[in-house]
Amino acid sequence: MTQPRRLLAVLAAILLATSALAACAGDGPFAITASGSQVLEAQVPSEAQGILVRIEMFNGPIEVRAGAPGRVRAEVTTTGAGGSKADAEADRAKVQVTLDAGPDGTVLLRAVYQPNPSSPNNRGASAIVDVPPQASLDLRTSNGNVSTAGVAGPIQVATSNGAVRLAEVGAGATVRTSNNGVEIDGSGTIDVQTSNAAIVLRGEGVTIRARTSNATVDFDGTLSDAPQSLETSNESIYVRLPAGASFGLDAQTSGGAHVVVTGFDVRTSGAVGGDTLQGTVGTGGPSITLRTSNANIEVRSLP
């Protein structure tokens, strides 16, 4: 090999090695991570009405459970990244976690990656939190699942690319996520929006506003007297109501699919066709609007 070619080969090798080291030391897929947990507690007035617990994490799940009155207890796990274990531990220390409680019962649990709060990359913070049973919740994260159980107050959830599962909802829920499913059982107004994933709802006396795409929407239970709306695309909608229920129906699909009603007599009052059905069941009641495409809509009576 001539001297110029040998020099070029050496320079190329140096550049490759430098790039590899930079990837390991930076935010690339080969960065080393370190995780650790801490427990935080805060007292709130046991008799306080309207306790609001707001939780802000990132790149990690949030789990909330009904705990003891007058106390919020959180176990927060944080993750840092670096080119070595020591660097990753030092980076994890830059994730600041705070738990603040006001005298009026408002609580804020927050994790922030201080060097770059808007783009934490492969760092993360997740939380398991016990709250008073009557609390209201405002839960925010990214790239993580959210779950609750046994909390009586209204619930708001905002995440992305994470599944949401809310059990025993007592006063309704508003959920925004993407690319993952939502499952809720409870009461109140259930307002759900996701994409490319199924929505499964169970409830008594609920008001439903549910929208997704390319996935099923499924409801089983009883409805309030308010208008109801379930919408998706390229997949089916399933609604199961008690025998003897009364409601107005406005259902429409496309692409050769059908609207199928089983166990109810529908008095048609508008457009009628294989893919469209408008009418009234029983004495009327809540209006149910169902929209999809290229898949069936099925409305059935429960045994």
Q: What's the confidence (pLDDT) of residue 23?
A: 36
Are residues 210 and 237 both part of a single domain?
A: yes
Average pLDDT over residues 64-82: 96
Token representation of residue 186? 């409870």
Residue 172 lies in a domain: no
Are residues 201 and 243 both part of a single domain?
A: yes
Q: What's the confidence (pLDDT) of residue 30?
A: 44
Residue 2 lies in a domain: no
Are residues 243 and 279 both part of a single domain?
A: yes
**What region, left, alpha or beta, does residue 90 occupy, with left being phi > 0 and alpha being psi -120 to 50 degrees?**
alpha
Choose among 94, 83, 71: nearest CA to 30: 83
Are residues 216 and 258 both part of a single domain?
A: yes
Q: What's the confidence (pLDDT) of residue 16?
A: 42
Residue 155 lies in a domain: yes
Question: CB under 8 Å to 181, separation ≥6 — which residues?
Answer: 163, 164, 194, 197, 198, 199, 200, 215
Cα 121 from Cα 113, distance rounded (Å): 10
Are residues 142 and 191 both part of a single domain?
A: no
pLDDT digits (tens, 9 = 90+) for 162-190: 999 999 999 999 999 999 999 999 999 99
Average pLDDT over residues 231-243: 98
Q: What is the pTM of this model?
A: 0.87
Q: How many independent structural domains does the chain possess?
A: 2
Please compute, for residue 211, the number of CA atoms within 13 A of its CA located in the half-sphere on the CB side: 7
Q: What's the confidence (pLDDT) of residue 48?
A: 59
Average pLDDT over residues 143-147: 97
Are residues 38 and 128 both part of a single domain?
A: yes
Are residues 70 and 138 both part of a single domain?
A: yes
Residues of the domain holding 74: 31-165
Are residues 40 and 157 both part of a single domain?
A: yes
Question: CB under 8 Å to 84, separation ≥6 — which residues?
Answer: 32
Are residues 219 and 135 both part of a single domain?
A: no
Residue 264 lies in a domain: yes
Cα 229 from Cα 288, distance rounded (Å): 6
For the cut 80, the answer to whether the pLDDT of residue 234 exceeds it is: yes
Domain boundary among 136, 165, 194: 165
Are residues 134 and 193 both part of a single domain?
A: no
Residue 3 lies in a domain: no
Cα 257 from Cα 264, distance rounded (Å): 20
Cβ count near 161 (within 10 Å): 14
The residue count of the chain comes to 303
Choose among 278, 269, 275: nearest CA to 292: 275
Are residues 116 and 196 both part of a single domain?
A: no
pLDDT band at 31 (very low <50, low <70, confident <90, very high): confident
**E strands, 141-286, in order:** 146-149, 155-158, 164-169, 173-176, 182-186, 189-193, 199-211, 217-223, 228-231, 237-242, 247-252, 259-262, 266-273, 276-281
Are residues 54 and 135 both part of a single domain?
A: yes
Of the chain, the percentage scoring pLDDT greater than 70 comes to: 89
Question: CB under 8 Å to 126, separation ≥6 — which residues?
Answer: 57, 60, 61, 62, 76, 77, 141, 144
Cβ count near 248 (within 10 Å): 20
pLDDT band at 136 (very low <50, low <70, confident <90, very high): very high
